[in-house]
């Protein structure tokens, strides 16, 4: 039997609509417009595309978008000064520094410098620390992991008590998604490049989160029948039949996995659209914090 396809585009559209209405209401009630500053350093085409999509979403939802595009050779001190300026700017509720940064810049120091109440990416160490700790909550949940949790919730997947396996331990996805699933009472296993029996671990998963960045690495024969599969990967695969010469695929081999899984996200159209939706939600929340409502 073929799996239920979890439609991230549709669920993201619902979140967008909720935020659009909330922003309109905030304008009406408080005469206040939320603002998001995006900082793009250098010329990386993927990063530029992501930032453009984030800014477009702001426009569509009535959020003010403040875009800063900076040459790749900016110094650490100059970038720190920009973050300080945005921290102090009352028109800016959220600050997003698109990652990765050029290698000469100290990412940790930059993320540390973002004001906690403007950290809409949820990457500040205090937010990550709170996410990790029992009984504490961050001001902001990192957008992609947050999107994964919303997909599970809206698809009616029971997380409490489930065996969740995360493949990948990145700061942006693997680690925070593991912490969120643990907070939601799943039993969590994190697998990575040194895991000895990867397929054996994956086969135990009621909920599988693939965030490795390797095209179609996880195949249907590794998946427990009926499992929920959330594919965070976005990889280019050569495809001469396409005009641009490639197509996007996930970390999971969708064709074989959908025959075994109970529910699965497609790539594209699964987790991808959720990242921006949750960023919009976080930006609205940052404006609520600024207004103290
Ligand atoms: N690079 C890849 N994903 C993200 C994200 O969610 N936020 C930022 N700032 N950079 C990223």
Per-residue pLDDT of 25-83, as tens digits, reads 999 999 999 999 999 999 999 999 999 999 999 999 999 999 999 999 999 999 999 99
Q: Which of 42, 98, 145, 274 to mutate to test the pocket of ligand 1 (most atoms within 8 A of CB)?
A: 98
57 lines ligand 1 (CB under 6 A): no
DSSP state, residue 100: S
Query: Does the annotation count 14 as an active-site position?
Result: no
Same domain as 147, residue 267 = yes
Which residue range(s) make up the domain with 41?
31-116
Taking only the tens place, the pLDDT of each residue in 117-163 is 999 999 999 999 999 999 999 999 999 999 999 999 999 999 999 99
Per annotation, catalytic residue among 14, 25, 44, 54:
54
- Which pLDDT score, from 0 to 100, does residue 142 have? 98
Specify if 8 maps to a domain.
no
Specify if 258 maps to a domain.
yes
143 lines ligand 1 (CB under 6 A): yes
Residue 249 burial by CB count (10 A; 0-12/13-18/19+): exposed, middle or buried? buried
282 band by pLDDT with thresholds 50, 70 and 90: very high
Specify if 283 maps to a domain.
no
Specify if 288 maps to a domain.
no
Same domain as 151, residue 50 = no
Check residues 1 and 269 and name the one with the higher pLDDT: 269
Same domain as 248, residue 171 = yes
Specify if 199 maps to a domain.
yes
Q: 210: domain CATH number?
A: 3.40.50.720
User: How far apart are the C-alpha atoms of 182 and 163, rounded to whole Å?
Assistant: 10
Tell me how far the alpha carbon of residue 1 lies from the centroid of ligand 1, in angstroms. 36
Terminal-to-terminal C-alpha distance of the chain: 48
- Which pLDDT score, from 0 to 100, does residue 33 have? 98
Beta-bridge partners for 189: 165
Q: Are 232 and 209 in contact (CB under 8 A)?
A: yes
254 band by pLDDT with thresholds 50, 70 and 90: very high
User: How far apart are the C-alpha atoms of 37 and 264, rounded to whole Å?
Assistant: 33
| SS3 (DSSP) at 194 | coil
Taking only the tens place, the pLDDT of each residue in 165-209 is 999 999 999 999 999 999 999 999 999 999 999 999 999 999 999
User: How far apart are the C-alpha atoms of 248 and 265, rounded to whole Å?
Assistant: 14
Tell me how far the alpha carbon of residue 28 lies from the centroid of ligand 1, in angstroms. 31
Q: Are 283 and 243 in contact (CB under 8 A)?
A: no
- Which pLDDT score, from 0 to 100, does residue 53 have? 98
Domain count, the chain: 2
Same domain as 156, residue 72 = no
Specify if 282 maps to a domain.
no
98 lines ligand 1 (CB under 6 A): yes
- Which pLDDT score, from 0 to 100, does residue 193 have? 96
Same domain as 177, residue 62 = no
The total of other beta-carbon atoms located within 10 Å of residue 90's CB is: 7
Per annotation, catalytic residue among 119, 121, 206, 251:
121
121 lines ligand 1 (CB under 6 A): yes
Tell me how far the alpha carbon of residue 2 lies from the centroid of ligand 1, in angstroms. 32
User: How far apart are the C-alpha atoms of 31 and 22, rounded to whole Å?
Assistant: 13
H or E element, residue 201: helix 198-202
Find the mean pLDDT for residues 230-241. 97
275 lines ligand 1 (CB under 6 A): yes
Same domain as 223, residue 159 = yes
Percent of the chain with pLDDT over 90: 100
218 band by pLDDT with thresholds 50, 70 and 90: very high
Q: 36: domain CATH number?
A: 3.40.50.10860
Say if residue 1's pLDDT is above 80.
no
Average pLDDT value over all residues in the chain? 98
- Pick the last residue of a domain from 81, 116, 151: 116
Percent of the chain with pLDDT over 70: 100
- Which pLDDT score, from 0 to 100, does residue 20 have? 98
40 lines ligand 1 (CB under 6 A): no
Kindly report the CA angle at 93 between 91 and 95, in degrees rounded to 5? 110
Tell me how far the alpha carbon of residue 171 lies from the centroid of ligand 1, in angstroms. 10
Is the overall model pTM greater than 0.85, yes or no?
Answer: yes
Query: Does the annotation count 54 as an active-site position?
Result: yes
- Which pLDDT score, from 0 to 100, does residue 249 have? 98
282 lines ligand 1 (CB under 6 A): no
Specify if 132 maps to a domain.
no
- Which pLDDT score, from 0 to 100, does residue 100 have? 97
Say if residue 267's pLDDT is above 90.
yes
Specify if 255 maps to a domain.
yes
């Amino acid at each position: 039997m073929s799996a239920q396809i979890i439609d991230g585009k549709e669920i993201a559209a619902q979140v967008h609509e909720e935020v659009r209405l909330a922003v309109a209401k905030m304008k009406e009630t408080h005469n206040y417009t939320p603002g998001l500053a995006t900082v793009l350093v250098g010329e990386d085409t993927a990063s530029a595309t992501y930032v453009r999509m984030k800014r477009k979403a702001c426009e569509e939802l009535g959020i003010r978008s403040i875009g800063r595009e900076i040459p790749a050779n900016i110094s650490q001190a100059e970038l720190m000064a920009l973050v300080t300026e945005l921290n102090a700017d009352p028109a800016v509720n959220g600050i997003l520094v698109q990652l990765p940064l050029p290698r000469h810049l100290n990412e940790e120091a930059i993320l540390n410098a973002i004001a906690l109440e403007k950290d809409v990416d949820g990457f500040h160490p205090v937010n990550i620390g709170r996410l990790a700790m029992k009984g504490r909550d961050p001001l902001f949940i990192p957008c992609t992991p947050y999107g994964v949790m919303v997909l599970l919730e809206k698809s009616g997947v029971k997380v409490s008590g489930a065996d969740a396996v995360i493949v990948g331990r990145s700061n942006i996805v693997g680690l925070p998604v593991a912490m969120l699933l643990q907070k939601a009472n799943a039993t969590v296993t994190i697998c990575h490049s040194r895991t000895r029996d990867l397929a054996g671990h994956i086969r135990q998963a009621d909920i599988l989160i693939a965030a490795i960045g390797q095209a179609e690495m996880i195949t249907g024969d590794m998946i427990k029948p009926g499992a929920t599969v959330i594919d965070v990967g976005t990889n280019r695969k050569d495809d001469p039949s396409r005009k641009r010469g490639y197509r996007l695929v996930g970390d999971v081999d969708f064709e074989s996995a959908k025959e075994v899984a109970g529910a699965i996200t497609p790539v594209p159209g699964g987790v991808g659209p959720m990242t921006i939706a949750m960023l919009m939600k976080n930006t609205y929340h940052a404006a609520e914090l600024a207004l103290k409502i």
